[in-house]
Structure 1
Amino acid sequence: MTSTQPSTEAQLDRPELREGSTGEAVKELQNLLKKYELYTGAIDGIFGPATTKAVKAFQHRVFLKEDGIVADKTWRALYKGAPVDLPILKKGSKGDLVVTIQKILLTTKDYTGSADGDFGVRTETAVKAFQKRVGLPQDGVVGDRTWFEFSKIHH
């Protein structure tokens, strides 16, 4: 039995949009950005500087490259209202995304270490504290639900 619901992991048949684009797809984009309170301009189907600014703000919120270009990942995140395609991070993980979550956990006061990109015991403890506060299972692992909660934090 196959689902008729589009998967957020499947590619959407939406055009790539960028500053200078026009048309119905841009109106759709502007309506989605308005829903997330990132765009306050007219729903005019013209992708101008205000739309670019709103797209970049949304991309920042969902941990995407902030290029102002609405390609597949940005469309999927807009429809889902959450980050897409992010890796699971846990003790032993390293890299820029670990720095990102450490900075968020510093903002929420769950973490007091340095944002060094090394997911160790202190980061795991901080993730568990954050998960407890937002009502998630406290496993210390950053998966889809924790990424979604992180996307709600001003970062």
Structure 2
Amino acid sequence: MAFRLARALAVFRDEINSRWPTRDHASDGWIGDAAHASRGSDHNPWVKDSAGVGVVRAYDIDAGAGANTEIGLWIAEHVRTLGRTGHPALGAGSYVISARRIASPASGWAWRTYTGSNPHTSHTHVSVSLAAGGYDSLQGWGIANGGGPSPAPAPGGRPIIRHGSRGDAVREAQQRLGVHGFNPGGADGVFGARTLDATKRFQGARGLASDGVIGARTWGALLAAPPAPPAPAPVPGQRPTVRRGSKGPAVSELQRILNVWYPALPRLATDGDFGPATEARVKHMQRAAGLAADGVAGPATWRRLLGG
């Protein structure tokens, strides 16, 4: 069957690529795989245009290295704002999913908890309108030359929050605190005692005033990518080169380190068996680190993983 990408999403994709030409594309995608084809996903071309060609109305944009970080979060919030202001591509049938949250016309473009099996922490998903005038709209998205991360995000539009605050902004702050390794006790949208403590510890670690109030400077630090984990003690040169099909302690160590690097992605089994999931995670890390993404953990990859 003939199919194509919705024209509105082609404009969306091109603006993102223009703004961040060197970003990671590992989790990008639009046409669904076999898993998508087995269910009612917008990645499938089930909507037909006037010529009978299937139209894919969904696009996934890689969020950046590790968790759903600066680019993905900014795009999600930008799309949500466009939905609230009436962008033609964001009519009935459209939505955005990011970091376990979903917003759509049905909720007035307010964030609510997303309970699907994929938490969308490695990418941000955008689906456009069911109507042809929406999914094929050529109106710009204000991304290529708009505000936001270039690549580091500004916290523009996020409110000042403190102990006692509630809502989506608190939930996002809690998620970001967790990504940075400061456990706020869950992302429930309530700025309680544990979130206050985590905020003060985070501020102290980043050289900010430890007042527990999340304003512009703290938002900026929260939305930045977390620092790389400390290097383990062993010498990188002692690690053997491992690749798909390898087994043993070196593979287990590799899997453990990758889980530390990417705490918000699905955890790899530390079973010492270098399978397709481990290979995909190695490639993801290599792309983000500017290495050849061959999926082979050789000396250069080990040195970067171990902090060399």
Structure 2 counterparts to residues 1-150 of structure 1, below 5 A: 18-21=8-11, 26=14, 29-35=16-22, 37-39=23-25, 49=30, 52-54=59-61, 57=63, 59-62=71-74, 64=77, 65=80, 66=96, 67=126, 71-72=141-142, 75-79=146-150, 81-82=152-153, 83-150=155-222
Aligned length: 126
Give the aligned residue type for 1:34. Answer: P
| Distance change >3 Å, CA 78–CA 106, structure 1 → 2 | closer
Q: Which has the higher contact order (CA 8 A, sep 6+)?
A: 1
What is the CA distance between 1:39 and its match in structure 2? 4.7
Per the alignment, residue 13 of structure 1 pairs with none
Q: Detail structure 1 runs of 4+ shifted over 4 Å in the superposition.
A: none
Q: Which consecutive residues of structure 1, in runs of 5 or more, have no partner in the other structure?
A: 1-16, 41-47
Per the alignment, residue 9 of structure 1 pairs with none
What is the CA distance between 1:129 and its match in structure 2? 0.6
What is the CA distance between 1:113 and its match in structure 2? 1.8
Contact 1:104/1:153, CA 8 A, preserved across alignment: no
Identity %: 27
State the SS of the aligned residue for 2:172. helix
State the SS of the aligned residue for 1:119. coil
Contact 2:71/2:151, CA 8 A, preserved across alignment: no
| Distance change >3 Å, CA 72–CA 136, structure 1 → 2 | farther
Residue by residue over 1:45-91, the C-alpha shift from the partner in whole angstroms, topping out at 9 and shown as x without a partner, is xxx95xx544x636533361443897347821145841321111111
- Which has the larger strand fraction? 2
TM-score, normalised via structure 1 length: 0.60
Residue by residue over 1:93-152, the C-alpha shift from the partner in whole angstroms, topping out at 9 and shown as x without a partner, is 101221222222233332252322111222112111101111222121111221121112
Please identify the structure whose Cα radius of gyration is greater.
Answer: 2
| Distance change >3 Å, CA 138–CA 18, structure 1 → 2 | farther
Q: Which consecutive residues of structure 2, in runs of 5 or more, have no partner in the other structure?
A: 1-6, 31-58, 64-69, 81-95, 97-125, 129-139, 227-263, 265-308
- Which has the larger helix fraction? 1
Task: Give the whole-Å Cα distance in 2 for the aligned partners of 1:20 and 1:115.
Answer: 33
| Distance change >3 Å, CA 127–CA 68, structure 1 → 2 | farther
What is the CA distance between 1:33 and its match in structure 2? 1.3
Task: Give the whole-Å Cα distance in 2 for the aligned partners of 1:103 and 1:90.
Answer: 15
Contact 2:160/2:214, CA 8 A, preserved across alignment: yes
State the SS of the aligned residue for 2:21. helix
